[in-house]
């Protein structure tokens, strides 16, 4: 894996843009709120896969004309990405199992929509491979809220790297 500093808000915005057409087909609204400067050290392609799978899952399982709210912010030394949908929600006893390979809440609906039961398992692997964790909880007004938590890029290390680069450039 190639881990590098990534602007999580920008990466999330790119994913939302690429999936907007799927939401439009279902008359769903994607809202995106991004705090500035939320950086993580991660493999861009692997993390993009995780975000894509979680947002795609919300689109597939959310009702037509619903809203999917995606937020990126920093919380102390952690980056927090949430995807809240207005779908049917997930019973407490299934919340851990939905990240298992091939697990489906509704076999008939999943087959109908072409799901393999791998999307959230891949998302979990991708988030954990980048030093984070993923969870799901019930939304305040129904639906589900998926939460991806990743360590942020330490500010002193970023500042030190920038200072070292400037110093190197000054001697040239």
Task: Write the pLDDT tens digit of every residue in 42-73.
Answer: 999 999 999 999 999 999 989 999 999 999 99
User: The domain 3-170: what is its CATH number?
Assistant: 3.30.565.10
Domain locations along the chain: 3-170
pLDDT tens by residue, 7-23: 999 999 999 999 999 99
Query: pTM for the complete prediction?
Result: 0.81
Strands (E), the chain: 3-7, 29-34, 39-43, 67-75, 78-84, 133-138, 144-151
Look at residue 9 and give its three-state secondary structure: helix
Angstrom CA distances, 115 to 38, 68, 118, stand at 32, 19, 8
DSSP string, 67-101: EEEEEEEEETTEEEEEEE--SS---GGGTTGGGST
């Amino acid at each position: 894996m190639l881990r590098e500093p990534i602007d999580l808000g920008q990466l999330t915005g790119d994913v939302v843009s690429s999936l907007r057409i799927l939401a439009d087909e279902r008359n769903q609204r994607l809202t995106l709120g991004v705090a500035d400067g939320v950086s993580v050290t991660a493999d861009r392609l692997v993390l993009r896969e995780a975000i894509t799978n979680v947002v795609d899952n919300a689109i597939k399982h959310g009702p037509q004309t619903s809203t999917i709210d995606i937020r990126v912010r920093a919380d102390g030394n952690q980056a927090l990405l949430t995807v809240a949908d207005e779908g049917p929600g997930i019973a407490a006893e299934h919340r851990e199992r939905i990240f298992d390979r091939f697990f489906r809440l509704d076999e008939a609906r999943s087959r109908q929509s072409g799901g393999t039961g791998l999307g959230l398992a891949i998302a979990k692997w991708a988030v954990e491979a980048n030093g984070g964790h993923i969870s799901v909880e019930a939304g305040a007004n129904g639906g589900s809220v998926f939460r991806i938590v990743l360590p942020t890029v330490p500010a002193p290390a970023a500042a030190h790297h920038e200072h070292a680069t400037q110093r190197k450039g000054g001697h040239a």
